[in-house]
Amino acid sequence: MSVTDTDIAFVKELLEGLGPLTHRKMMGGATFYANGQVFAILSSSGEIFLKAKGAFADAMAAEGSRIFGMDGKTMGYWTLPYAALDDPDLACGWARRALDALA
Q: What is the mean pLDDT of residues 15-40?
A: 93
- Could you give the C-alpha distances from 15 to 1, 11, 20, 30, 39, in angstroms and in order? 23, 6, 9, 14, 12
Q: Are 3 and 32 in contact (CB under 8 A)?
A: no
Best CATH choice for the domain 5-102 from the list 3.40.140.10, 3.30.1460.30, 1.10.230.10, 3.30.450.20? 3.30.1460.30
| pLDDT mean across residues, the chain | 92
pLDDT at 75 over 90: no
Q: Is the pTM of this model over 0.95?
A: no
At 68 the pLDDT is 86
For the stretch 46-59, pLDDT in tens is: 999 999 988 999 99
Q: Are 84 and 91 in contact (CB under 8 A)?
A: yes
At 58 the pLDDT is 94
